Amino acid sequence: MSFASKLLYAFFLILLSSSRVTHNINISPSPAPNPAYYDDNNNVFDVTSFGAIGDCRTDDTSAFKMAWDTACMTVGVDSAVLLVPYTFCFLVKPTSFNGPCRTRLTLQIDGIIVSPDGPKSWPWNFKRQWLMFYRVNGLSIQGSGLVNGRGQKWWDLPCKPHKGVNGTTQPGPCDSPVAIRIFQSSKVKIKGLAFKNSAQFHVRFDNCDDVVVDSVTINAPASSPNTDGIHIENTHNVQIRNSVISNGDDCVSIGAGCFNVDIKNITCGPSHGISIGSLGVHNSSAWVSNITVTNSTIWNSDNGVRIKTWQGGSGLVSRIVFRNILMVNVRNPIMIDQYYCQTKNCANQTSAVIISDVLYANIKGSYDLRSPPMHFGCSDSFPCTNLRLEDVDLFPYKGQLFENPFCWNAYGSMQTVTVPPVNCLLEALPGC
């Protein structure tokens, strides 16, 4: 496929994805849930049967909790369904849905769930997350509905970096809630849902195992701060696939303690790209391995595929593969930044998270000329090693002037001819 054809294909994906994220909030209650959701085994628990009103204004939290507790404690059936029915719009305040459950539980969201509208409507003691699922093994969260975090008033807090002059922040409370947080759970699947305008991360997994996220859409403005699409931390055996993400931070971010993560067929942008990190903040240790990102498109984004670590950390990032990725007008298509800093006054430190064994293969497309197409900024004390580039072709999005890649203490090789050439890579391993 020619480069022009790939661009056309990328924009086709973008147009296709845009049709999946146009949910409007209907504040009028609907007459009844769809009877097709009921079955003869009486294992479907409709939140409206527990008193939920679904008018987008009435607090339906108690009804959701009652329906959850009943479904979770059901015995004598292989599975139970907690139904959020189509055409209703439910206001749910911050709450925790706890396990373990006595049966496999499916949260079927076909209607709309909205959060309280901004910090003044939020319980003072529950600022870090909105909907948390704790120790629920075998959980499926699926459906055709929308989870709307109504984040605008959170983004407008004076502490947020986009509110001050030149990215400066102002004093004041700054905690913002994650929309969906899944904690200490295994065999978890999220499929088919749309997420919109979270105050902070849209979906976060902590200390989880065997996770699948499939066919979701996530949408927030490009200017919305810290609205990562999917974030994982201390989580392993993860599949993220077939999804469309547009937001104000990373489409997917991978934190410390993650391994065996497979990300594929993601359309990402506008955003900050797909990132490993940031790692090593506050001199912490971070170990990340066996991460693959394949068959994806990143467009109109500040970054493409990125590894970012703070100075002073420790640990190792290794066995990373970025393959078959199309970049469209991306400012930093390929980036390793071991000097990551959110201010301009981070102190130099000698310790660092080591980065080794990273493959970039069949990465093609266009870059924004404001930054080099490839940036390998590695630690003075712990250089990056075994960086390999294969079939990498990156051209300016506008004009004909090529920018040279940037390398600092980066050891690796070009397996094939790359465009532009990465002649700044050091060929010999340190000490050889």
Q: Which helix H or strand E contains 4, and what residues bound it?
A: helix 3-18
Count of alpha carbons within 13 angstroms of residue 410, beta-carbon side = 25
Tokens 């305008």, residue located: 197
Beta bridge partners of 107: 82, 141
Residue 379, CB-side half-sphere exposure with 13 Å CA sphere: 25
Question: Side by side, which strands form the sheet with 406-408?
Answer: 95-98, 129-134, 178-183, 203-206, 230-233, 252-254, 274-279, 303-309, 332-337, 374-377, 406-408
- Which of 44, 48, 95 has its CA nearest to residue 70? 44
Cα angle at 284 between 280 and 290, to 5 degrees?
A: 55
Max CA distance (Å), the chain:
75
Number of residues written out for the chain: 432
Residues 425, 298, 306, CA angle at the centre, nearest 5°? 40
DSSP-assigned letters across all residues of 339-397: T--SSS-PPP-S---EEEEEEEEEEEEEE-TTS-SEEEE--SSS-EEEEEEEEEEEEES
Is 272 catalytic? The answer is: yes
Please provide the distance, in angstroms rounded to a whole number, between the alpha carbons at the two ends of the chain.
41
Q: What are phi and psi of 85, to 5 degrees?
A: -75, 155
Distance, CA of 351 to CA of 409 (rounded, Å): 15
What is the C-alpha to C-alpha distance for residues 309 and 381, in angstroms, rounded to an integer?
A: 14
What amino acid is encoded at 399 in this protein?
G
- Which of 23, 162, 236, 272 is an active site residue? 272
Which sequence positions are flagged as catalytic? 272
